[in-house]
Every structure is written in C-alpha cells, then in structure tokens.
Amino acid sequence: MKSANKTFAKTGTTIFEVTSRLAAEHGSINLGQGFPDDNGPEDIRQKAAEYLEDRPNQYPPMLGVPELRQAVAAHDKKFYGIDLNWENSVLVTAGATEALASCLFGLIEEGDEVIVIEPLYDSYLPIIRRAGGIPKLVRLLPPDWSLPKEELAAAFSDKTKLIILNSPMNPCGKVFTADELLFIAELIVKHDAYAVCDEVYEHLIFDDRKHIPLITMPGMNNRCLRIGSAGKIFSLTGWKIGFIVADPSLLQPVAKAHQFITFTIVPNLQRAVAYGLGKPDSFFANVASDMQAKRDLLSGLLSDIGFSVLPCGGTYFVTADFSKLGFEGIDTEFCKTVTIEAGVTAIPVSAFYEGDSPRNFVRFAFCKNPSILQEAAARLANYFR
C-alpha cells in the first residue's frame, strides 16, 4: 500500500480530542478542551431555528451571506474603528480552524518562512508544513510569557512570508501589549511580510483591557488578516462559524483556497451569528465579565490547593504550575493520572510546544459553571491532600 501524506500521517490525534476521550472514558470533569458547558444564548439559537425554516437553505454566496459580512464589518467598525467594505473584505469560514487553513494555503508558497510563537495552537504547524512553508519558532516561556524581541527580530528574514499572531493567546492567556504589537508591525513592514492574526478570544479579555487588533497598527491595514470565531464570542463552539477580515488584495487569494476547502458555510447559522453580532455593547461586556469571574474563581481554588497559578489576561484558560504538589512526573503524566485518579482533566502545556519544553505546567479551562469548577477543585484538593 502506498503511504498517506506524511505531514498528516506523522501528526498524532489532536491533544484536545485525546484528553476529551480519556475524560469521557473515566467520567472525569473535563477542564481540558475549551468549550463552555452552557448551550449558548437562547435568542441566537432561536434565530437559527427560525432561519432554518423561513430562509433559503441552498448554497449561500461563497464569501458568506451578506447579512453576516455586513454584521462583521459593523462589528469591526464599532469595536476597533476599522473601515472596511463588507462586499470584498470579509470572508465567512467554517470556524477559525478553516480560516487559518485557508489563509495559510492561500498565501504560502513552497519554501516560504512562517514565524510562529510558542506555545501555539496545534493546527498551525501541520498546515504550514502541508502548504510548503518552513516554520520558524519563537518561544515564550512561563511564568511571564514575555516576548523575546531580539529573537523575534532575528527570526525574520527576506524569506519570511508571514507571522501567525494569536492574541489573546491560547494556552497562556497572554494579551500582547500595544508596544509589542508596534514592534511586530515594524518587523512586518521592514521584511515586506503579512500577519495572520488569530483573534478568536477578542471578547474574552479581562481587567478592563481592550483588545487591539494588529491590523489597526501603522502600516498594517493591507498586511493583516484578522480572524474571529463566533464559537468563542457566543459560546457556540460547535457551530464552527468563523470569519476573516482583510484588504481585498489579501482576501482574494485566501478566498480561492476557501472555495475548494468548504466553498460555503451553513446559512441559517451564519444569519443567526449576524443577529448575535448586532447585540448591544452590554452583551459583549457581560461575556468578558462573566468569564473573568470564572477565571478568578478557578485561579483562587487552584492556588488554595497549592498550584502556582499564572496571571491570565484573556481566553478561556489558566496555566498552573503543579511542581509544589509533590507529584513525581511530567505534565502529560500529571494530566493522565489526575484524569483517572482524581476525576479532573487538564491539558499538558508541553503539547503547545515542539520539542523540549517546560514539563510542570498544565492548562485548565474555566469556561464552565461555577459549581463544576468548585467540584473539580474539591476533587483535586481531596486527591492532593
């Protein structure tokens, strides 16, 4: 038998699926994979149900239904002051995952260098490689996850096609500062490169900070593709509705990839997301404040048990150092043992690095009901007592 494509054949099943399966097998509380445990806003789900009945169900336009492209443009204008033409600067995708794949397949040529910042979301590297790109890894490390500016500058070269920037950043909860974004923007201009901006946690940002899209920095409006995810904004992760906002010169090649990956996306869900994006500002503020309260709850409970919990400026996740708990072993062993024996599941942070990495940190998702977070902490406290 001839072999399958080696990039994917070599890749294991994603850590999120692996840990979720293990959690289900052992009936543990799954704070691994990042999905909320409520069912998403009722009015948005109601709209989706209505639109399934009373709007067309045949192929929508390839770029997305006009209602959603208009809503994305209005959202980006309202929150970030971005001026864009909805007709040629917005593309609706099957979640941010497809948005990332379409951007990378649409832009990368064989031999292009692509800068990625570890710890990183696990879809980036296989897709970069399958598209013919050469990843250049720059590392952020706990506990402060600070950006090593000299290393980043050294990673750029004339061969750099693009950088992937994830802010707020999964798994570490880092929110890039305006100063860091400015520094990155200058490197992009200097090396005539682009940025694929994974901003799926744009509304999950805490402590009164405001999300700053890289595309709003000087010189960036025709060099950035800004990716969002309705799954994260509305706690509807299973819907897989994402979007890309970019200058038409950049969006066009990406749309060419999209047309052969998914072509178009479920129409009633697109329309329901358009309705959701039109909700008042207070809705988006509440999304952040509810999640911040959950962050504080879980961080406090984990600290009481003896974890060293790192600060988290955004996302669904806190990172915690378990080395003071007396567990003998590395993060992957910790996660497996704790799933099976304590009944709580987390994700090893080493899964977000290629090669050697710190082995004493795990990621917990706090996008759950407070009672679930309390029960998980009680189980951990009991186990480590």
Residues near ligand PMP (CB under 6 A) are 34, 95-97, 121, 166, 170, 198, 200, 229, 231, 237, 240, 242
74, 90, 121, 181, 268 from 81: Cα distances, Å: 9, 15, 28, 17, 28
Nearest distance in Å: CB 317, ligand PMP: 9
Contact 211, 169 (CB under 8 A): no
Nearest distance in Å: CB 44, ligand PMP: 15
Looking at beta carbons only, is 170 or 268 nearer to ligand PMP?
A: 170
Nearest distance in Å: CB 316, ligand PMP: 8
Q: 330-365 burial, b if ≥16 CB within 10 A, otherwise e?
A: ebbebbbebbeebbbbbbbbbbbbeeebbbbbbbbb
Nearest distance in Å: CB 378, ligand PMP: 27
- Residue 224's nearest CA partner among 214, 232, 233 is 214
Looking at beta carbons only, is 137 or 340 nearer to ligand PMP?
A: 137
Nearest distance in Å: CB 123, ligand PMP: 7
Contact 256, 228 (CB under 8 A): no
Q: 206-241 burial, b if ≥16 CB within 10 A, otherwise e?
A: beeeebbbbbbbeebbebbbbbbbbbbbbbbbebbb
Among all residues, whose Cβ is closest to ligand PMP? 95
Nearest distance in Å: CB 117, ligand PMP: 11
Looking at beta carbons only, is 97 or 270 nearer to ligand PMP?
A: 97
DSSP string, 139-196: E--TTT----HHHHHHH--TTEEEEEEESSPTTT-----HHHHHHHHHHHHHTT-EEE
Nearest distance in Å: CB 192, ligand PMP: 26
DSSP string, 35-102: --SS---HHHHHHHHHHHHHS--S---TT--HHHHHHHHHHHHHHH-----HHHHEEEESHHHHHHHH
Looking at beta carbons only, is 96 or 291 nearer to ligand PMP?
A: 96
Looking at beta carbons only, is 95 or 173 nearer to ligand PMP?
A: 95
- Sign for the CA dihedral angle at 25, 27, 32, 38 comes to positive
Contact 262, 106 (CB under 8 A): no
Nearest distance in Å: CB 20, ligand PMP: 12
Looking at beta carbons only, is 200 or 344 nearer to ligand PMP?
A: 200
For residue 29, give the H/E element and its range: strand 29-30
Looking at beta carbons only, is 166 or 339 nearer to ligand PMP?
A: 166
Looking at beta carbons only, is 102 or 305 nearer to ligand PMP?
A: 102
Looking at beta carbons only, is 30 or 229 nearer to ligand PMP?
A: 229
Nearest distance in Å: CB 355, ligand PMP: 20
